[in-house]
Amino acid sequence: MQVQEEKKRSRNFISSLFSRVRAYELSILLASALAAGGVWMFVEIADEVFEGKTSGLDEAILLSLRNPADVSDPIGPFWFEEVMRDFTSLGGTAILVAISLAVLGFLLLQKKWRMGVFTVAAVSGGFLLSSTLKRFFDRPRPDIVPHSTYVMTASFPSGHSMLSAVVFLTLGGLLARYISNRRLKIYVLTLAVLTTITVGCSRVYLGVHWPTDVLAGWTAGASWALVCWMVALLLQRRGQVEEELED
C-alpha cells in the first residue's frame, strides 16, 4: 500500500512538472509573438506618419475633440477638461517614478531583492528607450489646436503613453506574479491596462499629441513590458530572481 502511494505521488509530481513546463513554453511563445507584433506595428505607424499618410486622420480626430466654433475649447464641460489634466498627470515622470518606487518597496518588503533590482532596470530601460525614440523621430507637436497643458519635448512617440505602458504594464505584470489570489491578479492587470489607455486618450484630448503619437507610444511601451515579462520569467526559471507565488 505504501509503495503504491509513493508511486501515485511520483506520477502526480511528474504530471504537474510537465504541465508547468508546457505552460511556461506556451507563455514564452505567446509573449514573443505579441512583442514582435508590437514592434512591427510601431515600425508601420512610424513609416506611415513620416510619409504623411496619417495627417488627415490625425487632424480629423484632433479637431473632433474641439468646439467647431473655437478650437481652443475642448468639447465637454470645464470640469471634464480638469479631469483630463488630472488623468494625464498619471503619465508624468514624477508620478511614474513615485509609483515605481512604491512597487520596489513592496518587493523589498517581500524579500524579493533580485526582482527589485530587475524592476529598477526594466523601468529605467523603458525611460531611456522613450527618450531615444523621441530624439530620433523629432516630430513637431500638433499646431492646429492650442495645447491645454505644458509640453517641451518632441511629439513622436507620446512619452506619457509609452511610459505609462512601460511602468503600469511592466510593474503590473511583475507585481501580479507575487500575488497569490487569481482575481486580484486580474484586477491589478486590468487596472494597469485601463490607466495606460486613459493617460494616452487624455493626451489627444488636451491637444498635445497626434493620435498616431499615442498609438505608437502604446505599442512601443506594451512591447517593452512584454519583453521585460519574458526576461523575468527566464531569470526565474534559471533561479536568478525569486519565483512567483502559487495559488
Cα 240 to chain centroid, rounded: 24
Please tell me the distance from the alpha carbon of residue 195 to that of residue 150, in angstroms, as a whole number: 21
Neighbouring residues of 129: CB distance < 8 A, sequence distance ≥ 6:
166, 220, 224
Q: What is the pLDDT of residue 116?
A: 85
Complete DSSP assignment for the chain: -HHHHHHHHHHHHHHHHHHHHHHHHHHHHHHHHHHHHHHHHHHHHHHHHHTTTTHHHHHHHHHHTEETTEEEEESS-HHHHHHHHHHHHTTSHHHHHHHHHHHHHHHHHTT-HHHHHHHHHHHHHHHHHHHHHHHHH-PPPP-SS--SS---S--SS-HHHHHHIIIIIHHHHHHHTT---HHHHHHHHHHHHHHHHHHHHHHHHTTSS-HHHHHHHHHHHHHHHHHHHHHHHHHHHTTSSPPPPP-
Q: For the chain, which residues make up each domain, given as ranges? A: 2-237
Q: What is the pLDDT of residue 98?
A: 93
Cα 193 to chain centroid, rounded: 7
Q: What is the pLDDT of residue 3?
A: 47
* 115 neighbors 242 (Cβ within 8 angstroms): yes
Q: What is the pLDDT of residue 241?
A: 65
Say what the alpha-carbon torsion angle 11, 13, 18, 19 is, to the nearest 10 degrees.
110
For the chain (length 247 residues), average pLDDT per consecutive 10?
50 45 55 76 87 88 87 87 91 91 85 86 91 88 79 83 91 77 85 92 90 93 87 75 56
Q: Which of 70, 69, 49 is nearest to 58 (CA)?
A: 49
Q: Which of 206, 205, 204, 192 is nearest to 163 (CA)?
A: 192
pTM listed for this prediction: 0.81
Q: Which of 146, 161, 34 is nearest to 88 (CA)?
A: 161
